[in-house]
Structure 1
Amino acid sequence: MQTYDFIIVGAGSAGSVLAERLSASGRYSVLVLEAGGHDRRFFVHMPLGYGKTFFDPAVNWNFKAEPDPGLGGNSDHWPRGKLLGGSSSINAMVWVRGAREDYDEWRDAGNPGWGYDDLLPIFRTIEHNEAGECEWRGHGGPLHVSDMRKKVDPLTHLFLKAAGEAGLPTNEDFNGAAQEGAGIYQITTRNGRRMSAARAFLRPAMKRGNVRVVTGSHVGRILFEGTKAVGVEYEKNGVSRQVRAGREVIVSCGSVCSPKLLELSGIGDPALLGGLGVPVVSANLNVGENLQDHLGINYTWKARRRTLNQLLRPWWGKAWVGMQYLLLRSGPLSMSMNQGGGFFRSDPSRTRPNMQLYFQIFSTVIPKAGERPILTPDPWPGFSIGLSNCRPTSRGSIHVRSADPAAPPKIVPNAFSTNADVAEMLDAVKYLRRLASMPSLAAIIAEEMLPGASVQSDEDLVQDFRKRSGTVYHPVSTCRMGPDPATAVVDSRLRVHGIDGLRVIDASIFPNNITGNTNAAAIMTGWKGAEMVLEDQG
């Protein structure tokens, strides 16, 4: 059986960073097993190609959640990256780290080394921020973060002006001293191309002789000697293979697949595993539990002036922006679907923001089969303002439904299952209408398309956001970190409780969700986790 020092299962946001950091010294051999394929695809690297990858089974797991009473009985679509770079290769590229208070809460829950002051140096080391180096931003790191303030559509500036009229100040940097306010999002691109974790970290690591990356390799279980992880079993091209880890096995499959792999390997609830015929290696009732996710909804308006709809929908517009992108790597195709946004308090009495805004200069009320119709928007001028809750109190779960590694897991979001989540979302959607009523936006609005003027009462607003809300693709905490095995899956050094030689390093370890998009925090977790692994190796 072939042996590597470290086996990393998953080449996503955290796994790509781990591969680069663990191999950098040349001392250790690293094997990365990725179930998906390569990332060399045009619509992966073109930023607004996000819509084309949204349902593409070649690069997307296309998970489907269970019917959810909190979402009007809908079964939500859960896209997750199935390729090098994982979800960083198919996400909307917004680079938001989260709030100081988020990480200080992690630390104060019994996880030393995870406070904001501990992690800020890592965030700064990771990035090469186009806005320049300062106390908050880094320069010279492997991951390029683009400053879009001079490139966004003029309509975005009207949104910012309206936010100011509503009392929300302009914020020049959501990753700076404070989050509250409206502003232009920083995004993970470089020279008009997506800067995924694979491009920033994994591709450089793959040039080293001590790194091997095997795509199309579906890991079915971790191998143990007693309670020590010693390797993994995976399938490639229909053939089962085993490989040994001389030092550690590291699970970096993400919040959906990491708990699934632990359970398939015998770490989890004995009642669940026994019912599936999976021998129990270590009993832990927390595996797959504590699922937290940000839930979002869009309000959409028909405009009295041009939006990107008129440029992206007709053939001549597609030809124009296509040539602009191919020749100059510029224009709408080189940017995120979310040019502007912000953070606000749904209730002014709150001590800090609890809601995130997303401003989109196009509309997609009319669906298109097989893709998210970003590149084929509505035939009339439209724009949307979306929002998502930042720290929901609802909790769900993700568990295996079969001992077959190829079977998708059972995803139970339990969306809006607490009164607190319903109440804050009701306040938040009312705030969207308040924004739209401000002079700078009201002057260009012809009609509210979704949910429409007839939806007015609190009861109708709640019914609407239950029916139309869904994940904004930030699931976390299914293998959460904590000092007590009775309430957590991994300790503060990301070692699986009760098991030697096994860590989980990805967004599933977050003790709680953060205020903002989760990709930056997942990449940071990969870097922090690699530091811990190397420290423990002496």
Structure 2
Amino acid sequence: MDNPDFIIVGAGSAGCVLAERLSASGRHRVLLLEAGGSDRRFFVQMPLGYGKTFFDPSLNWMYKAEPDPGLAGNVDYWPRGKVIGGSSSINAMVWMRGAREDYDEWRDAGNPGWGYDDLLPSFKAVETATIGEDAYRGRSGPMHVAQCTTTLHPLTRLWFKAAQDLGLPLNPDFNGASQEGVGEFEFSIHAGRRLSAARAFLRPAMKRPNLRVITGAHVTRLLFDGARATGVEYRRGGRTVSVRAGREVILSGGSVNSPQLLQLSGIGPAAHLQSLGIPVHTANDHVGANLQDHVGINYTYRANRPTLNQVLRPWWGKMLAGMQYLALRNGPLSASLNQGGGFFRTDPGQARINMQLYFQAFSTVIPRVGERPILSPDPWPGFSIGLSNCRPKSRGEIMIRSADPFEAPKIVANAFSHEDDVREMLDAVKFIRRMAAARPMAETIVEEILPGPKVLSDEAIIDDFRRRSGTVYHPVTTCRMGPDAASSVVDTRLRVHGVDRLRVVDCSFFPNIITGNTNAPAIATAWHAAGLILSDAN
């Protein structure tokens, strides 16, 4: 496409939504560039197939963070989608908006128009929900979301009872009035298939003549005319191609790739860029800084009754589940792993919930090299209770290592670098053990496998969760939004401070992390951002 009005870099969750909305009227020509390839892959479309995409370099950037002192020096693995649909094509499909307070905090930090009431119409517009009250839920959007009630394992309901015995309410809708409590999660799964942002938004839009999608296009730098962004340069099939935008360039590469591209193009910390021989176009110390992420851990138990392990471990079980899925699009392969979960406060006196729970009637203690063993669980009946912190205080950064656009950036997560995060996690894993000791679960448990009964003291528990914790794949805030260039990267309309006709629309602009999974917020905020872009264009 020659001279598009808008160039979008990245066909992930946000990029797919932008491409649909900006091309919908037919008035604007839109070019969407994606470094990865097609999402038309069996294990992408089959919901429980995401274990097969976990280490697949044809679908995944397969990043690795730096050795982290907070994780006992471990190198944490950071999968990110390198495919049409981005991480919405390889994630666990949990549909979670976050808390009202999250967005009101954004607004109150000097970002008018980004409070919960401002964003609620966008959350409703993007979804077709089968549960919840109409005041909160959408009924006619392209993203069909639902609970996997028909495939819910009976052990999950026992876990709900144990949680209720400890004072957590049963919550029928985490995307409604409140998140607190336990219950069934909702998923971006429809008719037995993953409903990624690509399937929901981009595929229908690709029929329009004013939208062009180019895959295998790795954008290497931005082009400028003075203070104005004019286009991009990308590599595809060994060729270097330059393309100009009539109106704007929009970065939707995600919390890793968007700050990386800005830095490669001379927008970022001046001293760091100069040390790599990159001419500084716009100095901004916050590009790549302020990294926030959720960190999680599982406690795993051996059960005295069958779990999904007995369904999916034996070859004949896999065969039966596969036949059921291929013939009927249902059964265990049509669902996600974390079918139930919830939110709680590690201290009842806290004003807000600060921990997310996950329940898996399934266990994967025995590792498999080069594969996330979702389709090859342990040979004995097992299950896991997991959790992740919702609002960590630890901060990291993402910085390029060189001027080479094909070299992975340096990811410094700094997990558990703030003492409050350590204290909260200690309280949280103790709560897991209280849940396991509650009667409905205690009658089911034979033994605790991980970390095991010998891990009892506070020191031993902290050492264990430092060694076994890791990202739950929700990095945000590396191009944070704010009214002042002295403390942020983009303004309240997501325009890069100091650069004309350049925006960032993805999870990297979030001013603070969300209470829960980030895919639904990525999609809804992109919908909201598209309205701002179209308003400015008009």
* Cross-structure match for 1:376: 376
Q: Deviations over 1:344-371 (max 9, x none)?
A: 0011111121000000011000000111
Give the deviation of 1:135 after TM superposition.
Answer: 1.0
Three-state SS of the structure 1 residue aligned to 2:373 is coil
Asked if 1:183 is matched to 2:183, the reply is: yes
Give matches, 1:297-446, under 5 Å: 297-446=297-446
Partner Cα separation in structure 2 for residue 178 and residue 130 of structure 1: 17
* Cross-structure match for 1:490: 490
Give matches, 1:198-277, under 5 Å: 198-277=198-277
Equivalent residue letter for 2:141: G
Three-state SS of the structure 2 residue aligned to 1:3 is coil
* Cross-structure match for 1:40: 40
* Equivalent pair of 1:229/1:499 in contact (CA under 8 Å): yes
Give the deviation of 1:207 after TM superposition.
Answer: 0.7
Equivalent residue letter for 2:531: E
* Equivalent pair of 1:129/1:147 in contact (CA under 8 Å): no
Give the deviation of 1:151 after TM superposition.
Answer: 3.3
Give the deviation of 1:164 after TM superposition.
Answer: 0.5
Partner Cα separation in structure 1 for residue 397 and residue 107 of structure 2: 24
Give the deviation of 1:134 after TM superposition.
Answer: 1.3
Partner Cα separation in structure 2 for residue 375 and residue 251 of structure 1: 35
* Cross-structure match for 2:515: 515
Give the deviation of 1:130 after TM superposition.
Answer: 2.1
* Cross-structure match for 1:71: 71
Partner Cα separation in structure 2 for residue 431 and residue 116 of structure 1: 30
* Equivalent pair of 2:122/2:525 in contact (CA under 8 Å): no
Asked if 1:296 is matched to 2:319, the reply is: no
* Equivalent pair of 2:132/2:172 in contact (CA under 8 Å): no
* Equivalent pair of 1:180/1:352 in contact (CA under 8 Å): no
Partner Cα separation in structure 2 for residue 214 and residue 397 of structure 1: 30
Three-state SS of the structure 2 residue aligned to 1:202 is helix
* Cross-structure match for 2:533: 533
Equivalent residue letter for 1:283: A
* Equivalent pair of 2:132/2:173 in contact (CA under 8 Å): no
Three-state SS of the structure 1 residue aligned to 2:5 is strand
Partner Cα separation in structure 2 for residue 150 and residue 348 of structure 1: 34
Give the deviation of 1:149 after TM superposition.
Answer: 3.0
Equivalent residue letter for 2:280: V
Give the deviation of 1:275 after TM superposition.
Answer: 1.1
Equivalent residue letter for 2:109: A
* Cross-structure match for 1:284: 284
* Equivalent pair of 2:312/2:375 in contact (CA under 8 Å): yes
* Cross-structure match for 2:51: 51
* Equivalent pair of 2:6/2:250 in contact (CA under 8 Å): yes
Partner Cα separation in structure 1 for residue 124 and residue 133 of structure 2: 9
Unaligned runs of 5+ in 1: none
Q: Deviations over 1:408-432 (max 9, x none)?
A: 0000000000110000000000000
Partner Cα separation in structure 2 for residue 438 and residue 56 of structure 1: 40
Partner Cα separation in structure 2 for residue 433 and residue 492 of structure 1: 43
Q: Deviations over 1:97-125 (max 9, x none)?
A: 00000000000000010000011111011
Give the deviation of 1:2 after TM superposition.
Answer: 3.0
* Cross-structure match for 2:12: 12
Equivalent residue letter for 1:304: N
Q: Deviations over 1:373-427 (max 9, x none)?
A: 0100001000001000000000000011010100000000000001100000000
Partner Cα separation in structure 2 for residue 149 and residue 363 of structure 1: 20
Equivalent residue letter for 2:59: V
Partner Cα separation in structure 1 for residue 454 and residue 101 of structure 2: 39
Q: Deviations over 1:201-257 (max 9, x none)?
A: 011111100000000000000000001000000000010000000000000000001
- TM-score where L is the length of structure 1: 0.99
Give the deviation of 1:74 after TM superposition.
Answer: 0.4
Q: Deviations over 1:475-505 (max 9, x none)?
A: 0000000001000000010000000000000
* Equivalent pair of 1:166/1:435 in contact (CA under 8 Å): yes
Partner Cα separation in structure 1 for residue 35 and residue 514 of structure 2: 28
Three-state SS of the structure 2 residue aligned to 1:461 is helix
Equivalent residue letter for 1:82: K
Asked if 1:152 is matched to 2:152, the reply is: yes
* Equivalent pair of 1:8/1:252 in contact (CA under 8 Å): yes
Unaligned runs of 5+ in 2: none
RMSD between aligned alpha carbons? 0.8
* Cross-structure match for 1:452: 452
Equivalent residue letter for 1:499: V
Three-state SS of the structure 1 residue aligned to 2:186 is coil
* Equivalent pair of 1:16/1:202 in contact (CA under 8 Å): yes
Partner Cα separation in structure 2 for residue 270 and residue 439 of structure 1: 59
Equivalent residue letter for 2:165: E
Three-state SS of the structure 2 residue aligned to 1:333 is helix
- TM-score where L is the length of structure 2: 0.99
Partner Cα separation in structure 2 for residue 147 and residue 130 of structure 1: 8
Equivalent residue letter for 2:355: M
Give the deviation of 1:133 after TM superposition.
Answer: 5.8
Partner Cα separation in structure 1 for residue 130 and residue 332 of structure 2: 19
